[in-house]
């Protein structure tokens, strides 16, 4: 980026020179610049004044010198060391290494070649970083998506995977356009706690699986020893220096220890195979159209998988966005719509290269944020580092011990788990505690989407039930001899029966009844219908009904529910005392 800006500066300065000089043989019409009254300080040290050459004898030479000096200053500014950019680049490089075993493992789950899982991470990670809604999020091939597409590959073949990823990306872009991502705000906090706890357990199980299947006791001892060394180094290095991310130094240390002492360490090449890390242009993915017939039958096959893939991917990505928002204390909130579009664009391009698709990854995002990667440059660097590594440095990457990455991920799992949630049991409502446990359990045994949707539905039903029990009333007879029912609590679909039970219609002696909604709120059409029903029952028993303290939108809608806009009961209007709250319908808002 700096080189591109430098080139632009050269080009622009060149144009300025040409504008001052003019074409050959034509004398410039510009007046000569004034003589320099004092030498220009070009040195970084203001006390050192370089000796300036004598001013050029003509305008052309002076213009060339001036533009060259400007170009020199611009180049110095562009190439200045930027600590924040270097931090993002280093953290991105670390995450690139952490992406490798995950992408390889998810590729095996999906039933495709590991190299395609890695290129999926390269392409998706780059596009999501460029167009996503929150800098710092890392995206790539994911386990949630791999589980969804595995039956498609097993049943219909790998050729259906790319069009599925493309269609899922289109659905996600549409979700971003229609701002569907904003609904993630409705996910309650207990569901978020259950989600991160369940995810931490899933990631831990995934990392512990690397300790099984080792050839002998020496290999197991090496795996355990290097993992422990990694976790210790990750804690100690920040106490010594923070100039370089601890995870990067840790990987270098464990790799050197493994090679110097010739330890029987399991490497990335052992996991993915030599073919994945052979390097060179032969491993580049090929751009091609999906190799399936463009028919309605093909669409019926891939649409259910694509829709599920898009949904699961967006849920995990948007929850990651919320988590990163909470970790990065910069006063900014990520854009859910942009994140939907960024993930969609990434999945479309992933499908174009024949990849599996994916989404944001919480574990790798946490590694990135902990290392200081809070800008888009971190995600772009991750993608570039992984892509360049697969092309030019694949054999070296293949020699990295798997234990070093396992140790880093285990620490991430420990940081991901919301340990504070354990202290909440006994201090929060029992149903909220149950939701935390339930979401964690479903995340582990089923998948993320089912867990989050189930927890959200249970929370919504719990909230609706609690609110439905809040409706009550007090009765009095005012100075006019009217029976006044003062209502309290929200009136909506869940509380309509309790609302009706407040009125013993046949045992009201007064001829006129006032229903005062000053302490209540009317929220939906069910409430309006119930109000009309109660008023009709009172009228059938010879009572004259007055409705008081209704918001303007409720007054309008109650009138619209009757012919001519005039209901058979009296609605008292008081602009100063009538409450105003969010309309139950857009009719009043318009």
> For the chain, how are helix, strand and coil distributed in percent, rounded to 5?
65, 5, 30
**In a shared domain, residues 512 and 392:** no
- List the alpha helices (DSSP H) in 158-295: 161-177, 189-208, 217-240, 246-260, 268-272
Backbone angles phi and psi of 345, in degrees to 5: -60, -40
CA distance 216 to 109: 26
- Block means of pLDDT (10 residues each) for the chain, 590 residues, are 43 42 40 42 41 50 56 48 78 92 87 92 96 94 88 92 95 95 88 90 88 86 95 93 86 94 92 88 84 89 94 91 86 90 96 93 90 91 95 91 92 89 89 94 86 92 92 92 94 94 92 94 91 92 93 87 81 88 56
Q: What angle do CA 46, 47, 51 make, to 5 degrees?
A: 90
Taking the CB of residue 298, how many other CB atoms lie within 10 A of it?
A: 15
* Strand pairing report for 570-571 and 544-548: parallel
Q: Are 538 and 513 in contact (CB under 8 A)?
A: yes
Whether 566 and 509 share a structural domain: yes
Q: Which two tokens stand for residue 273?
A: 């195979």
Entry field: residues in the chain: 590
* Residue 361 token pair: 């990854």
Q: Which residues pair with 546 in a beta bridge?
A: 514, 570
Whole-number Å distance between alpha carbons of 474 and 488: 9
Residue pair 347/125 in contact (Cβ under 8 Å)? The answer is no
- Residue 331 and residue 254 share a domain: yes
State whether 114 and 52 are in the same domain: no
What ranges in 426-524 are assigned the alpha helix state H?
430-445, 448-468, 496-500
Q: Are residues 302 and 413 in the same domain?
A: yes
On whether the pTM is more than 0.85, the answer is no
**Residue-by-residue DSSP string for 46-71:** TT--PPPPPPPSSHHHHHHHHHHHHH
Please tell me whether residues 321 and 437 are part of one structural domain. no
| Closest-CA residue to 206 (of 92, 276, 109) | 109
Three-state secondary structure readout of 354-406: CCCCEEECHHHHHHHHHCCCCCHHHHHHHHHHHHHHHHHCHHHHCCCEHHHHH
Element (H, E) at 303: helix 296-327
How many other β-carbons are positioned within 10 Å of the β-carbon of residue 393?
A: 13
Does 384 lie in the same domain as 337?
Answer: yes
In whole angstroms, give the CA distance from residue 250 to residue 253. 5
Same domain, 67 and 181: no
Mark which of 388, 421, 454 sits at the end of a domain: 421
**Alpha-carbon distance 20 to 28, whole Å?**
7
Distance between CA atoms of 76 and 338, rounded to whole angstroms?
A: 35
The pLDDT of residue 68: 54
Q: What's residue 547's pLDDT?
A: 94
- Assess whether 360 and 267 both reside in one domain: yes
- Do 107 and 191 lie in one domain? The reply is yes
What is the torsion angle, in degrees rounded to the nearest 10, for the CA atoms of residue 17, residue 21, residue 25 and residue 30? 160
- Residue 103 near residue 359 (C-beta atoms within 8 A): no
Structural domains of the chain, count: 4
DSSP-derived 3-state class of residue 212: coil
3-state DSSP call for residue 475? strand
**Is there a contact between 471 and 489 (Cβ–Cβ < 8 Å)?**
yes
Q: Which residues contact 134 (CB under 8 A, 6 or more apart)?
A: 321, 324, 325, 334, 335, 339
Same domain, 200 and 113: yes
- Same domain assignment for residues 495 and 476: yes
Q: For residue 307, give the nearest of 497, 91, 148 by alpha carbon.
A: 148
Listed in sequence order, the residues at least 6 apart from 434 whose beta carbon sits closer than 8 Å to its beta carbon are none
Residue 451 in tokens: 């867990």
- The whole-number pLDDT of residue 8 equals 43
Tell me how far apart the alpha carbons of residues 272 and 108 are, in angstroms, rounded to a whole number. 9
Domain that holds residue 533: 469-589
Whose CA is closest to 402, among 104, 119, 202, 199?
Answer: 104
Q: Which of 48, 78, 108 is the last residue of a domain?
A: 78
Determine the Cα–Cα distance for residues 352 and 167; give it in Å rounded to an integer.
Answer: 11
Q: What is the CATH number of the domain that holds 553?
A: 3.30.750.24
HEC states along 328-351?
CCCCCCCCHHHHHHHHHHHHHHHH
Task: Identify the three-state secondary structure at position 486.
Answer: strand
Looking at residue 132, what is its pLDDT? 94
CB atoms within 10 A of CB 395: 12
DSSP state of 243: S
Domain boundary (358, 388, 421) is at 421
Task: Return all residues near 490 (Cβ < 8 A) that are at least 6 apart.
Answer: 467, 470, 471, 520, 521, 523
305 close to 420: Cβ distance less than 8 angstroms: no
d(CA 177, CA 184): 15
Q: Locate tokens 């069009």: which residue?
A: 163
Q: Can you tell me whether residue 509 is helix, strand or coil? A: coil
Residue 217 CB coordination number (10 Å): 8
């Amino acid at each position: 980026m700096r080189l591109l800006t430098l080139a632009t500066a050269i080009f622009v300065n060149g144009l300025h020179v040409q504008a001052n000089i003019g074409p050959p043989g034509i004398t410039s019409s510009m007046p000569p610049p004034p003589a320099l009254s004092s030498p220009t300080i070009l040195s970084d040290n203001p006390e050192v004044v370089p000796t300036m050459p004598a001013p050029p004898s003509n305008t052309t030479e002076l213009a060339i010198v001036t533009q060259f000096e400007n170009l020199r200053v611009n180049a110095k500014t562009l190439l200045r060391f930027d600590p924040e950019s270097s931090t993002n680049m280093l953290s991105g490089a670390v995450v690139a290494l952490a992406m490798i075993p995950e992408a390889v493992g998810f590729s095996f789950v999906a039933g495709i070649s590991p190299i395609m899982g890695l290129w999926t991470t390269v392409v998706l990670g780059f596009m999501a970083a460029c167009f996503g809604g929150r800098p710092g999020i890392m995206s790539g091939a994911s386990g949630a998506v791999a589980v969804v597409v595995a039956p498609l590959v097993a049943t219909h073949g790998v050729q259906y995977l790319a069009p599925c990823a493309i269609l899922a990306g289109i659905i996600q872009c549409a979700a971003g356009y229609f701002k569907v991502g904003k609904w993630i705000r409705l996910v309650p906090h207990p569901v978020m706690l259950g989600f991160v706890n369940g995810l931490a357990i899933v990631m831990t199980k995934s990392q512990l699986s690397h300790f099984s299947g080792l050839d002998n006791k020496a290999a197991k001892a090496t795996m355990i020893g290097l993992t422990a060394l990694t976790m210790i180094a990750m804690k100690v290095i920040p106490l010594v220096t923070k100039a370089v991310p601890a995870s990067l130094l840790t990987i270098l240390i464990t790799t050197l220890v493994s090679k110097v002492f010739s330890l029987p360490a399991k490497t990335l090449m052992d996991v993915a195979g030599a073919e994945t890390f052979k390097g060179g242009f032969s491993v580049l993915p090929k751009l091609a159209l999906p190799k399936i017939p463009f028919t309605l039958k093909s669409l019926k096959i891939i649409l259910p998988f694509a829709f599920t893939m898009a949904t699961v991917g967006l849920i995990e990505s948007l929850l990651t966005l919320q988590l990163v928002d909470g970790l990065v204390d910069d006063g900014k909130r990520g854009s859910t719509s942009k994140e939907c579009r960024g993930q969609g664009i990434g999945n479309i391009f992933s499908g174009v290269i024949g990849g599996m698709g994916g989404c944001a990854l919480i574990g790798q995002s946490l590694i990135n944020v902990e290392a200081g990667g809070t800008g888009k440059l971190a995600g772009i660097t991750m993608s570039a580092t992984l892509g360049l590594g697969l092309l030019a440095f694949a054999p070296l990457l293949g020699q990295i011990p798997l234990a070093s990455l396992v140790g880093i991920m285990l620490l991430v799992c420990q940081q991901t788990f919301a340990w504070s949630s354990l202290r909440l049991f006994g201090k929060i409502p029992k149903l909220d505690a149950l939701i935390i446990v339930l979401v964690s359990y479903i995340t582990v045994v089923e998948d993320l989407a089912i867990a989050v949707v189930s927890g959200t539905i249970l929370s919504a039903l719990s909230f609706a039930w609690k609110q439905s029990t809040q409706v009550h009333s007090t009765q009095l007879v005012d100075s006019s001899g009217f029976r006044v029912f003062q209502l309290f609590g929200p009136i909506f679909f869940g509380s309509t029966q309790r609302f009706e039970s407040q009125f013993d219609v046949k045992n009201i002696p007064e001829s006129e009844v006032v229903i005062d909604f000053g302490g209540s709120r009317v929220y939906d059409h069910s409430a309006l219908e119930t109000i009309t029903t109660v008023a009709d029952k009172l009228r059938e028993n010879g009572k004259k009904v007055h409705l008081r303290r209704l918001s303007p939108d409720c007054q309008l809608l109650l009138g619209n529910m009757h012919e001519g806009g005039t209901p058979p009961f009296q609605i008292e209007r008081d602009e100063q005392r009538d409450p105003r709250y969010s309309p139950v319908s857009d009719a009043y808002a318009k």
